[in-house]
A and B are shown apart, each in its own frame.
Chain A
Amino acid sequence: MTWEPVIGLEIHVQLKTRTKMFCRCPVGFGAAENTQTCPVCLGFPGALPVPNSTAIEWVVRLGLALGCEIAPRAVFARKNYFYPDLPKGYQISQYDLPSCINGRVLVPLPNGDHAVGIVRAHLEEDAAKNVHVGGRTGRIGGADYTLVDYNRGGTPLVEIVTAPDIHSAEEAKRFLQLLRQTIVELGISDAEMEKGTLRVDANVSVRPEGSDELRTRCEIKNMNSFTHIARGIEAEVERQVAVWESGGEVEQHTYDFDVATGTLTPRRAKEEADDYRYFPEPDLLPVEPSAALVEQLRAGLPELPAERIRRVGETLDHERALVLVTGGLDALWRDTVAAGAEAVAASNVIANQLVGAGVDPGGVDPAELAKLVEARERIPRQAFDEAIARVAEPGFSAAPYLAREAVSDAAALEPIVDAILAANPAQVEQYRGGKEGLLGFFVGKVMKETKGQADARAVNELVRTKLNVDV
């Protein structure tokens, strides 16, 4: 039987507002423990929350970008439970009336768009950070003691919940890349998984291909990169398929993905079911964004990455379009092409050499870059690499690099080519035996010997001629 994975994602995004969700403590990394706190975010008696209006605007903008309906009335609720990282004994979170509902994101895939439903996107406050000291589990049970840093407590979080519309690890990864780029471009979060400003949990089940049933799902947590998410999902799908195929039954459970071993570890089952006793937060008024504000925010949305992948995909192939847009490189590509560069060549230079050299695409003058793209096979490789490395420097000019002519004179190159062919008789033999891929091996050697000064096209031609003729 063929099995189809059914995947829904729960994504937490830490907003980069200047201050916290319900108090005016600064949001940020790296401050000394418990220095960015106040009576409100420490849950002192009598302290009251006051919502951050920027965070409320931002969740509306994100909701609009995800095609959501914006609730004319959203309500904060209290989610009650005891934990040392939760100073009030409850987390303030939108619950039954979230700010954004019923969205839809069209994810451009090589074979067309794939729709992923957005069930909801809501605002809440982040918990503080526990450090469990001692013990082996890294969890509170078994630790010798726990230290709490409340700096993170109260940071605005958006939780996004997708419908179970995703059917492979690859689709999940594509969706997340697109979502991340959208969030970054809206300017509401850095959305970096390694910093924890973007966190993803996956709900995974499998079903026989062609069926539309929903079987028992499991949750996978603790995945800290898109690659790990894909691997975690794949491992869980494999596990569930094996359970079903051996005649067993998948049981609802939560797993941690172990990055090092690529395995899933079940979390210890709780003794009792969670009952968070949600009720509307009486210290806060409902969030009622005016229709005028929503329309103003809608009008202010930039062109979104998904649309741009589609548009760039009309000129380039899908994969190149995806890399440019999700890398935040498509604006430079567009301007470089407009300045006269050939589209595919410009894409290759930007996505490979420029990114490889760690150049900030925002600082690049597209006209100068276009000149380099155009001349890249004509000028020495070394000159090209040097130019790319410096292309974002203020006042950069391509002219001096373009002036450095490559050595294309056969008389100068021939002795070098001969020497290299003579030094590598085994590879020459193989090439002549049909392994034509070895051409690059010889060209590389020549380029190295000439310290990148040779014209690559001339070398190519010369090597090929010599190999083919001198049988």
Chain B
Amino acid sequence: MSAAVDTLRLTAEDALGLVERREVSPAELHGAYLEAIGERDGELHCYLRTVAEAEGTSIPIALKDVISTRGVETTAGSRILSGYVPVFDSTVAARCKAAGLTLLGKTNTDEFAMGSSTENSAFGPSRNPWDPSRVPGGSGGGTAAAVSAGLAPWGLGSDTGGSIKQPSALCGNVGLRPTYGTVSRYGIVAFASSLDQVGPVAKTVRDVALLYRIIAGRDAADSTTVELPSAVELPSAERLEGLRVGVPRQAMALEAIEPGVRAAFEAALELVEELGAEVGECDLPLSFDYGLPCYYLIAPAEASSNLARYDGVRYGRRSEGESYREMVEGSRDEGFGDEPKRRIMLGTYALSAGYYDAYYGQAQKVRTLIVREHASAFEKFDVLATPTSPTVAFPLGDRTADPLAMYACDLLTIPSCVAGLPGLNVPCGFSEGLPVGLQLIGPQFGENALFRAGHALERALGLDLVPARLRA
């Protein structure tokens, strides 16, 4: 039976139909994906570990390895957590289980979700299914590459400054970073608490909406969550009459945007207009000037505190030492890679006595301004659009020597993350044979508007998003 399932093309929605009509059993479907993983993951390294048994009544799912799964090792891509097996499920993992989804495995990530290429994973990088010499993006490169290569119908990632949207753009799939507070962070290995959000990655906008429906909503275990003000709608309209789309002038002025990316984005915008939407320009000067520096103060500051618990005392890696201090220092020195260390140092500095006001305090004030600036843009527009990533997937090793070049991958995704707003990556074309992504940004709780716009664009474009080299 499993031979009949083409995991490269099967959407989650169609897979759900197959299971519902009992044409395929959950175990057979699970098996088909494991088979695909067996074939292709040796090269791509999307998974840190897979789960052989299909426990559930529905279709499979892949979870980024920052998502705690009871009884299944969860490392966040870090040596310091190797061997750590959670005794509890994260709320999103529990909600997936409750929906009957079977856990296929845990996908690769930059260490503690810090990175834009998965090259910071302590367990080796993942590779882009379109061109294995290139990165899949990050930090959620494992999930994005897995969905793109037919190694999972869908998956969950986590996004702090672009870790869902950017890899989805680089791998050619749909990824949603939801409004801050709509999806529980309980059980998500924390990077930066005020920015982290879990969200779906899938082949289509409708799949993303279906998965968002499963995971979203208030969770008593996460004080920062809220109930959705309105139910998640599955998009079906193919026209965009009445939709006002704003394009931030300052985003398009960025020289870092490659010509091929710009061309694909602009062609997609024309199509959006043809579908009946009004497209206009808007201004987000503070957001694009200060969004990135603001993010690189707040995120490392919170990370420096969130990563303090990895001390070798209770779980994870412990180095022996003559004293408590030696043990903790050794465990952290050997357990953390360069990027977490770099951010712990940055963040510790930003919070230190005498520097707090100038750095962390100031960044919080700027953040408030960025929130306001976005709010005023949404007085005139229903959604905003930019390219998701300034570039297509870049070769492995291209940016590892230059942290600032790596940070620049998220120039376009970070401002709306800082503002706590939802963002959806929709594939919008190709450049150099590699996928280009369009980022739709919505107002707070504006996911349904993103789904409508994304779905209509996706239908109109009709792109073949199976990596060319994998097409039969």
Residues of A within 8 A of B (CB): 39, 42-51, 78, 80, 82, 84, 87-90, 140-141, 146, 148, 275, 277-279, 282-285
Residues of B within 8 A of A (CB): 66, 68, 74, 76, 81, 84, 86-88, 90, 185-190, 192-194, 220-224, 301-302, 304-305, 307-309, 311, 313-315, 323-324, 328, 348, 351-353, 356, 360
Closest 3 CB pairs of A and B: A89-B308, A277-B351, A282-B193
**B356 lies within 8 A of A47 (CB):** no
Q: How far is the CA of A278 from the CA of B220 in the complex (A)?
A: 26
Cβ 8 A contact of B194, one of A47, A87, A140, A282: A282
**B81 lies within 8 A of A45 (CB):** yes
B382 to chain A, nearest CB (A): 29
**B84 lies within 8 A of A45 (CB):** yes
Kindly report which residue of chain B lies nearest to residue A277, judged by CB atoms: B351
B64 to chain A, nearest CB (A): 12
**Inside 8 A of A89's CB, which chain B residues have their CB?**
305, 307-309, 311
A39 to chain B, nearest CB (A): 5
**Inside 8 A of B352's CB, which chain A residues have their CB?**
275, 277
**Inside 8 A of B76's CB, which chain A residues have their CB?**
45
**B305 lies within 8 A of A279 (CB):** yes
**A39 lies within 8 A of B88 (CB):** yes
**A275 lies within 8 A of B308 (CB):** no
**A80 lies within 8 A of B187 (CB):** no
Having A140-B323, A279-B356, A285-B224, one finds 7 other A-B pairs with CB under 8 Å, namely: A44-B315, A47-B187, A48-B186, A50-B222, A80-B351, A277-B305, A282-B224
A279-B356, A283-B223 known; A46+B309 contact, CB < 8 A: no
A275-B353, A285-B223 known; A47+B315 contact, CB < 8 A: no
**A146 lies within 8 A of B324 (CB):** yes
**B309 lies within 8 A of A88 (CB):** yes
**Inside 8 A of B323's CB, which chain A residues have their CB?**
140-141
B163 to chain A, nearest CB (A): 16
Cβ 8 A contact of B314, one of A42, A140, A278: A42
A277-B351, A285-B223, A285-B224 known; A90+B308 contact, CB < 8 A: yes
Q: How far is the CA of A284 from the CA of B188 in the complex (A)?
A: 16
**Inside 8 A of B309's CB, which chain A residues have their CB?**
43, 45, 87-89
A36 to chain B, nearest CB (A): 15
**Inside 8 A of B313's CB, which chain A residues have their CB?**
84, 87, 148
**Inside 8 A of B311's CB, which chain A residues have their CB?**
82, 84, 89
Cβ 8 A contact of B223, one of A49, A88, A90: A49
**A45 lies within 8 A of B74 (CB):** yes
Cβ 8 A contact of B305, one of A39, A78, A146, A275: A78
**B223 lies within 8 A of A43 (CB):** no
**B187 lies within 8 A of A90 (CB):** no
**Inside 8 A of A46's CB, which chain B residues have their CB?**
66, 68, 86, 90, 185-190
Kindly report which residue of chain B lies nearest to residue A150, judged by CB atoms: B314
**B351 lies within 8 A of A279 (CB):** yes
Interchain Cβ contacts under 8 Å between A and B, 9 examples: A39-B87, A46-B187, A48-B222, A50-B220, A84-B313, A87-B313, A87-B314, A140-B323, A141-B323
In this complex, which of A50, A84, A148, A279 has the most chain B Cβ atoms within 10 angstroms of its Cβ?
A279
B388 to chain A, nearest CB (A): 26
A80-B351, A279-B305, A279-B356 known; A45+B221 contact, CB < 8 A: no
**Inside 8 A of B66's CB, which chain A residues have their CB?**
46
Kindly report which residue of chain A lies nearest to residue B194, judged by CB atoms: A282
**Inside 8 A of B356's CB, which chain A residues have their CB?**
277-279
**B308 lies within 8 A of A50 (CB):** no
**Inside 8 A of B305's CB, which chain A residues have their CB?**
78, 80, 89-90, 277, 279
Q: How far is the CA of A48 from the CA of B91 in the complex (A)?
A: 11
A366 to chain B, nearest CB (A): 48
B295 to chain A, nearest CB (A): 14
**Inside 8 A of A78's CB, which chain B residues have their CB?**
305
A24 to chain B, nearest CB (A): 10
Q: How far is the CA of A87 from the CA of B306 in the complex (A)?
A: 11
Q: How far is the CA of A51 from the CA of B222 in the complex (A)?
A: 10
**B348 lies within 8 A of A277 (CB):** yes
Q: How far is the CA of A44 from the CA of B313 in the complex (A)?
A: 11
**Inside 8 A of B185's CB, which chain A residues have their CB?**
46, 48, 283
**Inside 8 A of B221's CB, which chain A residues have their CB?**
48, 50
A22 to chain B, nearest CB (A): 9
A46-B68, A51-B223, A82-B311 known; A279+B360 contact, CB < 8 A: yes
B377 to chain A, nearest CB (A): 25
In this complex, which of A78, A82, A140, A148 has the most chain B Cβ atoms within 10 angstroms of its Cβ?
A82
B76 to chain A, nearest CB (A): 7
In this complex, which of A148, A277, A284 has the most chain B Cβ atoms within 10 angstroms of its Cβ?
A277
A48-B222, A82-B328 known; A283+B193 contact, CB < 8 A: yes
**B224 lies within 8 A of A283 (CB):** yes
Q: How far is the CA of A154 from the CA of B304 in the complex (A)?
A: 21
Q: How far is the CA of A116 from the CA of B321 in the complex (A)?
A: 48
**Inside 8 A of B81's CB, which chain A residues have their CB?**
45
Q: How far is the CA of A192 from the CA of B304 in the complex (A)?
A: 37
Q: How far is the CA of A44 from the CA of B189 in the complex (A)?
A: 9
Q: How far is the CA of A167 from the CA of B12 in the complex (A)?
A: 74
**A284 lies within 8 A of B223 (CB):** yes
**B189 lies within 8 A of A45 (CB):** yes
Q: How far is the CA of A45 from the CA of B308 in the complex (A)?
A: 11
Q: How far is the CA of A42 from the CA of B194 in the complex (A)?
A: 21
**B308 lies within 8 A of A80 (CB):** yes
Q: How far is the CA of A275 from the CA of B354 in the complex (A)?
A: 10
In this complex, which of B76, B86, B314, B348 has the most chain A Cβ atoms within 10 angstroms of its Cβ?
B314
**A45 lies within 8 A of B223 (CB):** no
Q: How far is the CA of A282 from the CA of B223 in the complex (A)?
A: 10
A146-B324, A275-B352, A282-B302 known; A43+B314 contact, CB < 8 A: yes
**A82 lies within 8 A of B308 (CB):** yes
A125 to chain B, nearest CB (A): 14
In this complex, which of A45, A49, A90 has the most chain B Cβ atoms within 10 angstroms of its Cβ?
A45
B13 to chain A, nearest CB (A): 29
Q: How far is the CA of A389 from the CA of B187 in the complex (A)?
A: 58
Kindly report which residue of chain B lies nearest to residue A43, judged by CB atoms: B309
Kindly report which residue of chain A lies nearest to residue B112, judged by CB atoms: A45
**Inside 8 A of B328's CB, which chain A residues have their CB?**
82
A123 to chain B, nearest CB (A): 15
**Inside 8 A of A275's CB, which chain B residues have their CB?**
352-353
**Inside 8 A of A90's CB, which chain B residues have their CB?**
305, 308
Kindly report which residue of chain B lies nearest to residue A46, judged by CB atoms: B187
**Inside 8 A of A141's CB, which chain B residues have their CB?**
323
**Inside 8 A of A148's CB, which chain B residues have their CB?**
313
A180 to chain B, nearest CB (A): 33
A42 to chain B, nearest CB (A): 6
Cβ 8 A contact of A279, one of B187, B189, B301: B301
B150 to chain A, nearest CB (A): 29
Q: How far is the CA of A285 from the CA of B223 in the complex (A)?
A: 7
